[in-house]
A and B are shown apart, each in its own frame.
Chain A
Amino acid sequence: MSTAGQEKVKVRLATTSLAGCFGCHMSFLDIDERLFELAEIAEFDRSPLTDIKHCGPCDIALIEGGVCNTDNVHVVRELRANAKILVAVGACAINGGLPALRNKLDVNAILTQVYRDPKTGEPCVPNSPELPLPLDMVYPVNEIVRVDYSLPGCPPSGDAIWKFLTDLILGRMPRLDYSLLNYD
């Protein structure tokens, strides 16, 4: 991603949050004033920050959260199809994280337990085609599409995200020091 040439070509970033808590995105905002610096070299495609609904060709896609339903699958596939580099960000994207606690339970048992008719007490699981259908389990992103890099943490700190992103943008192999990987 060389910035050589007369006109500075900005790096195009996409981000999304799947089965997660948005904590990684909040942490992303923790790069604070460096957002200005980032805006100098990068611009956003599909992202909660832009509200662009569908992704176009881009350089880097950051994915927060695991994959828990059909919509998540469509989103990761779209980002994978469009991004040159796809990064799994945070514990949920890498391992399934907290949402994957449901993996020990049967998905139908959960649905019928949660969705009950208040009057009769009978199960009434919503079945509108507009609703994304849940998968039997929550899966890490790398089991659904190819992942190029993983950025660990719950969430990764703003500093870690900044270091990782700038390494990627400048063409260096991303390296996080111990201090950026130490969560105690």
Chain B
Amino acid sequence: MPTADPVVSAIAEKYRNNPTYVLQILRETQEALDWISPETVETVAAQLKIPRTRVQSVLQFYSFLYDKPRGRYRILFADNITDRMAGNIALFEHMLSRLKLKRGEVSSDGQVSVDLTSDTGMCDQGPAMLVNNRAIPRLTMRRIDEICALVKERVPLEEWPADYFRVEDNIRRRETLLTSIAPGVALDAAIARGRQGMLDEIKRSNVRGRGGAGFPMGTKWEGARNAPGAERYIVCNADEGEPGTFKDRVLLNSFSVRVLEGMAIAGYATGATKGFIYLRGEYKHLQAKLQREIDEMRASGRLGASIRGAPGFDFDIEIHMGAGGYICGEGTAMVESLEGKPGRPRVRPPSMVQVGYRGKPTVVDNVESLAHATEIAVEGGAHFAKRGTRFSTGTKLLSISGDCERPGVYEYQFGVTIGRVLEDCGAKAISAVQIGGASGVLLTPDDFSRRIAFEDVPTAGAFMVFGPDRDIFEVARNFAQFFAHESCGFCTPCRVGTTVQRNIMEKIAEGRGSRYEINELKRVVAFMQRTSHCGLGETAGNAVRDALSKFRPAFERRLRAKDFEPAIDLERALEPARRITGRDDAEAHLETES
């Protein structure tokens, strides 16, 4: 076993002992040492000259950082509803029994642990797992057996068949964005328009943020450019954590020219000279490739100083890896995470474009939004605005998964009807579609003439299809579990509310729910929406709310006919004291009330 010190210092030196990079340093340290021991925490703190508690707070916050040994092979099964529909639980249990493990337990030889995690962005090729953050999609029983054999023989992860880790793009439909563009073309076009000219084109295009909120990108860029101070930052939000979405993964894999040059164009128009890609931990497989491309851009004058020979056009890009945390997809939480802190959302105002990364004006844009900037640079805003609808210009990528013949990424002009999308992906006899992920909306056939657009059904792109045999209660329960796990714990309504919501769903699932639970669910959902600190809590009850209003019988058939059912099994609660006193008289039991 390597000792902590030389490993930590080598990694920390690489980041110039800068405490802002503590999350990156902990990530890499864990890759080398398998977990972060209390001694490692001390070493990191001493090396970076920060309090131990600060290292500890980061270690505790991120789900992919471990403060206890989790084995050399840390296996996590994705547990989104689409993985469940593809049978992940059977595979998970098969693996546990093959390895003679319980969930979350480390094998006695300290080699392996197996657990569940949130969606990993592989819904179109699930069920999927992560092994030490490396994604393995398309799992089958046979593949699980093979992996168990590799683990038992202690084959290093690097020597596992490369085929396991192959992630498909599954592009099914293209319009303008999913077309390749020669390197430098968009940059040259932007330079030709000038900084103000480029900004004007973005505004003219009316392009809106693709991350879900739909904020006008031109307004955001202009705000950052007009903010006082010389230092500005561009952040590319690649923390694609919304269950059911994976289109950014495809953009980063096959259209990175658009994404990276889009970032540079944002820098050009706003005056920012530094950009970050915040890449979700689950997309580690893209890190090396993106880094190579960034290095290549720098070598060919598409990044660095005086890009493409334009004086003063200086811009560089750095990749920052996430470490498991849905909340970090929220812009302000992302900036906190970039600063090497737990990703907890900030209080707004001030907005990010005023006070962002390290207090400087910062533009946080979704991967897809930034990619659109290359289109606008080349063809101009007016041309761009001809596609889509009046209030939602351009095209939108949809990540389609679930019960359909052709899951994958589809590009449509805004305004496409849901019925048309379902037809194209080969979805027949549908009972419901969840649009916008766990925080989105659940639509039934009555709604299939509605359109994908900010003015009708807004979405960041997740599109999960549920066939007639799917139990929508289980869908809502899966999302309730997701939010209880992903709440950052900062504000009480969300921290407590998401757990209460999950507990009630579990109680109903066990067949111990009553009308009372239905009323409580409604109350909790409304309360979270009204009082939470950020969008996570505000939307954490959407799935349950929609399922209740559209699939109420799915809940009702699980309910007891009674007015109220205790939260606990009272007979079981008496068992320990019965055992120790040896009593079995009538008074030592509690009959369930009739």
Contact = CB atoms under 8 A, between A and B. Distances in A.
Contact of A137 (B573, B586, B587): B573
Interface SS of chain B? helix
Interface size range on A against B: 20 to 34
29 contacts: A70-B587, A70-B588, A73-B590, A77-B593, A108-B576, A108-B577, A111-B577, A111-B581, A112-B580, A125-B581, A126-B581, A129-B583, A129-B588, A133-B577, A133-B587, A134-B577, A135-B573, A135-B574, A136-B573, A136-B575, A136-B577, A137-B573, A139-B567, A139-B568, A142-B567, A143-B567, A144-B567, A145-B564, A146-B564
A162 B458 CA distance: 49
Given A70-B588, A108-B579, 12 more contacts: A70-B587, A73-B590, A106-B576, A107-B580, A129-B588, A133-B587, A135-B570, A135-B573, A136-B574, A143-B566, A143-B567, A143-B568
B585 interface: yes
Contacts of B574: 70, 133, 135-136
Which of B563, B572, B577, B582 has the most chain A CB within a 10 Å cutoff?
Answer: B577
Interface residues of B, number: 25
A136 B579 CA distance: 11
B516 interface: yes
Nearest to A107: B576
Interface of A: 70, 73, 77, 106-108, 111-112, 125-127, 129-130, 132-137, 139, 142-146
A61 B575 CA distance: 29
A108 B587 CA distance: 18
A114 to B, nearest CB: 11
A90 to B, nearest CB: 19
Nearest to B514: A146
A167 B566 CA distance: 28
B574 to A, nearest CB: 6
Contacts of B568: 139, 143-144
B580 A111 contact: yes
A91 B142 CA distance: 54
Interface of B: 516, 563-564, 566-568, 570, 572-583, 585-588, 590, 593
Contacts of B567: 139, 142-144
Contact of A73 (B564, B570, B572, B580): B570
Most-contacted residue by chain B among A106, A132, A133, A143 (CB, 10 A): A133
Contacts of A126: 581
A146 B516 contact: yes
A133 B566 contact: no
A132 B580 CA distance: 14
Q: Which 6 A-B pairs have the closest CB atoms?
A: A143-B567, A127-B581, A146-B564, A129-B585, A135-B573, A108-B580
Nearest to B566: A144
A137 B567 CA distance: 13
A135 B563 CA distance: 23
B581 A133 contact: yes
Contacts of A143: 566-568
Nearest to B580: A108
A70 B590 contact: yes
A36 to B, nearest CB: 36
Nearest to B562: A146
B563 A146 contact: yes
A181 to B, nearest CB: 15
B209 to A, nearest CB: 39
Nearest to A80: B564
Contacts of B579: 108
B76 to A, nearest CB: 29
B580 A125 contact: yes
Nearest to B564: A146
A129 B577 CA distance: 12
A135 B567 CA distance: 14
A71 to B, nearest CB: 9
Contacts of B570: 73, 135, 144
